């Protein structure tokens, strides 16, 4: 559950950056894909990212 909240916070920040034209849609997608991998991996390895 905590990982889901952390991912959603990350996604919200990315959306803000994209909406302010600080990153492109392509960058948004690439970063989000990496975040999904990271949070999914941490979930299974039970790593504490913060």
Q: In the prediction, which pLDDT does 4 show?
A: 85
Contacts of 41 (CB under 8 A, 6+ apart): 47
| 50 assigned to some structural domain | no
Average of per-residue pLDDT across 3-18: 94
Between residues 49 and 6, which one has the greater pLDDT?
A: 6
The mean pLDDT value for 23-37 works out to 96
Domain around 14? 2-45
**39 in a domain, yes or no?**
yes
In a domain, 19, yes or no: yes
Report the distance separating Cα 49 and Cα 46, nearest Å: 9
**Over 80: is that where the pLDDT of 15 sits?**
yes
**pLDDT at res. 3:** 79
- Per the structure, the count of domains in the chain is 1
């Amino acid at each position: 559950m905590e990982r889901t909240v952390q991912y959603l916070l990350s996604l919200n920040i990315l959306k803000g950056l994209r909406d302010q034209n600080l990153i492109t849609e392509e960058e948004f997608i690439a970063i989000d894909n990496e975040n999904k991998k990271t949070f999914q991996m941490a979930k299974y390895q039970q790593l504490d990212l913060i």
